[in-house]
Amino acid sequence: MKNSSAVSSIVLEAFYRMEDLKYLYFVIFLMLYMLVLFANAIVIFVIIINKVLHNPMNYFLCNLAVNDLSYFT
């Protein structure tokens, strides 16, 4: 006996039911994105402005924040 069924499309029910909340998810992830951008900018700003923080560990932290800004976006 040969199987002759053919699937032409797939419906993901879990994502289909989330259609009503897409604006809520957009706002949540937008706020998360803005928080990450703001936190990284504050870290970079504080390390650059404060002369006491000019040591190798904080330069590394500043580089991580700059990389996070460039790769997160």
Q: Within a 10 A sphere around the Cβ of 48, how many other Cβ atoms? A: 12
pLDDT bucket at 69, cuts 50 / 70 / 90: confident
Q: At what angle do helices 56-72 and 22-49 cross, to 10 degrees?
A: 150
% of the chain with per-residue pLDDT over 70: 88
Averaged confidence pLDDT in the chain: 86
What tokens appear for 41 in the block?
A: 């900018």
pLDDT tens-digit profile of 28-54? 999 999 999 999 999 999 999 999 999
pLDDT bucket at 60, cuts 50 / 70 / 90: very high
Cα 52 to the center of its chain, rounded Å: 31
